[in-house]
Amino acid sequence: MPVKMRLSRKGRSKAPFYHIVVADARSPRDGKFIEKIGTYNPMTKPATIELDRDAAYDWLTKGAQPTDTVRAILRFKGVYYKKHLMRGLKKGALSQEQVDTLLNEWITSKDSKVQSRIEKNKADLEAFRKAVSGEAKKAKAPVADESTKEAADAFFHAGEEAAETTTASVVEETAPETAVEEVVEAPVVEEAPQATEAPAEVEAPAEVAPAEVETPAEVEAPVEEVAEAAAEETPAAEETTSEEGTEEA
């Protein structure tokens, strides 16, 4: 009769739990089985698998055909690796001691990986619960040597001293400037109206003076013209008088 290695479902709704069984292929899924060789819980992370490797190897060598899921489980638990090593033992390539050591090393490394994944998932779950509950996360303190800490402290104190000196110097420099500005600005504000009124009094005669100076120049110009005209006319008069005298003579 055909024999199969398959899963038999157990557990409640939406929370499956499986038994790994060896059963007749003609029997129903959750019906009669020949032997139970392990369990499989897919609800955990990673999935929890318990398997009798020797029993699974015996049924595999007898010709039992595993389903796809059971085949993946057998590979994960090292049953197919044991089958590979036993084939080398039959051919004489390996001894029984070598087969046992190689198989134990493989199982140990696989179990360590699974355990590390379990611990990592636990840490992630705890961190998630803390984040949901609202607990504040602790900041990671930077690791530094003593020399680094001393240098940082010295740099910090030097910065404080420099800031104090700069503030003191700024206060000393700004105080005299403000006093001088107050002294200078006070008389300027008081004398400003007098300075603006003085030019107005001086500008009035400045406008009249040019007119008085220019008027004689304007008057002298016609006088000179009249004198020249008179000088030009006098010879003509003398000529007429001389002509009249000659005629009388």
**What was the pLDDT predicted at 158?**
77
Q: What is the Cα–Cα distance from 48 to 11, expressed in whole angstroms?
A: 15
**What was the pLDDT predicted at 171?**
53
- The predicted model scores a pTM of 0.51
Residue 131 — very low, low, confident or very high, per pLDDT cuts 50/70/90? confident
Residue 27: pLDDT over 70 = yes
**What was the pLDDT predicted at 186?**
46
**What was the pLDDT predicted at 64?**
93
**What was the pLDDT predicted at 19?**
95
The residue behind tokens 């240098």 is 151
Residue 212: pLDDT over 50 = no
**What was the pLDDT predicted at 72?**
95
Q: Using one digit for the tens of pLDDT, what is the confidence trace for 92-110?
A: 888 999 999 999 999 999 9
Cβ atoms of residues 47 and 38 within 8 Å: no
Amino acid occupying residue 221: A
Residue predicted with more confidence, 12 or 145: 12
**What was the pLDDT predicted at 98?**
92
**What was the pLDDT predicted at 170?**
57
Residue 15 — very low, low, confident or very high, per pLDDT cuts 50/70/90? very high
Residue 150: pLDDT over 60 = yes
Q: Using one digit for the tens of pLDDT, what is the confidence trace for 45-92?
A: 889 999 999 999 999 999 999 999 999 999 999 999 999 999 999 988
Going by C-alpha positions, the residue among 113, 132, 134, 136 that lies closest to residue 124 is 132
Cβ atoms of residues 20 and 73 within 8 Å: yes
Q: Using one digit for the tens of pLDDT, what is the confidence trace for 152-210?
A: 777 777 777 776 776 666 555 555 444 444 444 444 444 544 544 444 444 444 444 44
Going by C-alpha positions, the residue among 60, 21, 15, 20 that lies closest to residue 40 is 20
Cβ atoms of residues 1 and 14 within 8 Å: no
**What was the pLDDT predicted at 133?**
83
- How many other CB atoms sit within 10 Å of the CB of residue 82? 22
CA distances from 10 to 20, 31, 34, 162 (A): 11, 12, 17, 76
Supply the DSSP string of the chain, one letter for each residue: --EEEEEEEEEETTEEEEEEEEEETTS-TTS--SEEEEEEETTSSSPEEEE-HHHHHHHHHTT-EE-HHHHHHHHHHTHHHHHHHHHHHHHTSS-HHHHHHHHHHHHHHHHHHHHHHHHHHHHHHHHHHHHHHTPPPPPPPPP--HHHHHHHHHHHHHHHHHHHHHHHHHHHHHHHHHHHHHHHHHHHHHHHHHHHHHHHHHHHHHHHHHHHHHHHHHHHHHHHHHHHHHHHHHHHHHHHHHHHHHHH-
Token pair of 219, please? 């008057």
Rg of the chain's alpha carbons, rounded to an integer? 62
**What was the pLDDT predicted at 31?**
86
Residue predicted with more confidence, 15 or 237: 15
**What was the pLDDT predicted at 168?**
64
